[in-house]
Amino acid sequence: MSELVSIVMPVYHAASYLERTVRSVQGQTYTDWELIAVDDCSTDGSFALLERLAGEDFRIRPVRLERNQGAARARNRGTQLACGRYLAFLDADDVWAAVKLERELAFLKEKQAAFAFTSYEFGDSEGRGTGRVVAVPETLSYRKALSRTVIFSSTVLFDLEKIDKALLSMPDVKSEDTATWWNILRHGYTAYGLNENLVIYRRPARSLSSNKLEAIRRIWNLYRKQERLSVLESFCHLCFWAWRATARRVG
């Protein structure tokens, strides 16, 4: 494999912010990349926009699923099509700093790691940074990861010479990204954190109370159904998770 970075981006009804996300990829100081944009049967013109952008830049590879299948299967399709040695995920509404790939790839090589992730900043509905930056630990093991969902999908980078693509296949469950990181770490890998803010995580305004309740339900189901933890173990991890999640949003 070359030094090509394959970027997998699931797309669903993202026409209003998709172009800015793609432009943030095109603006990378590291230029050896391919963007595999998997449209999950959008009806808002997202795929037409992707085709237009691809016509301007051969590195953009639009793919359209025949029926709506959800973000996990869209990502899995993109991962199957990836040609690069390295693989990154990017959500269609997030924004990368221009040095994201350059800095993270250098970090991954320095650590001789299979799995890296970076710090990120919460953004508003327009994708503007709010100043609330999530710091990340130097390393993250499976046991530590269970009580902190600090790995954000748009920040990860993998070396496919060190990790099998099969481990990157996401399950068709809610919070499929978190379930995937846990599965990778459970297989003995360590995730290395680059504590540099290189991504803006766009968070549209919505009901905070309903978000919190849904997040709790999702994380609880992951503990019990995916990880098969006992009720006591799940409750203990949930308490630490809730404390850290609150601190991350307030800080």
Instruction: Report the candidate in 197, 151, 23 with the shortest Cα–Cα distance to residue 37.
Output: 23
Higher pLDDT, 204 or 73: 73
Q: Are strands 86-89 and 60-64 parallel, antiparallel or unpaired?
A: unpaired
pLDDT of res. 102: 98
User: Has residue 141 got a pLDDT over 90?
Assistant: yes
* Residue 114 domain boundaries: 5-250
Tokens of 213: 């309740």
Mean pLDDT of 32-36: 98
pLDDT in tens, 65-76: 999 999 999 999
Burial degree of 216 (CB within 10 A; 0-12, 13-18, 19+) = middle
Question: By the 8 A CB rule, do 245 and 178 touch?
Answer: no
What's the chain's average pLDDT?
Answer: 91
The CA distance from 161 to 214, in Å, is 36
Domains in the chain, number: 1
Give the pLDDT band of residue 46 (cuts 50, 70, 90).
very high
pLDDT of res. 54: 97
Q: Are strands 191-202 and 139-140 parallel, antiparallel or unpaired?
A: antiparallel
Give the pLDDT band of residue 246 (cuts 50, 70, 90).
low
Tokens of 96: 């990368």
Higher pLDDT, 166 or 2: 166
Mean pLDDT of 190-217: 80
Question: By the 8 A CB rule, do 95 and 123 touch?
Answer: yes
User: Has residue 61 got a pLDDT over 90?
Assistant: yes
Q: Is 226 left (phi over 0), alpha (psi -120 to 50) or beta?
A: alpha
pLDDT of res. 209: 39
Q: Are strands 191-202 and 95-96 parallel, antiparallel or unpaired?
A: antiparallel
User: Has residue 31 got a pLDDT over 70?
Assistant: yes
pLDDT of res. 174: 86
Q: What is the pTM of this model?
A: 0.90
Higher pLDDT, 36 or 172: 36
The strand pairing partners of 34, in sequence order, are 6
Which CATH number do you get for residue 183?
Answer: 3.90.550.10
User: Has residue 47 got a pLDDT over 50?
Assistant: yes
Percent of the chain at pLDDT above 70? 94
pLDDT of res. 228: 84
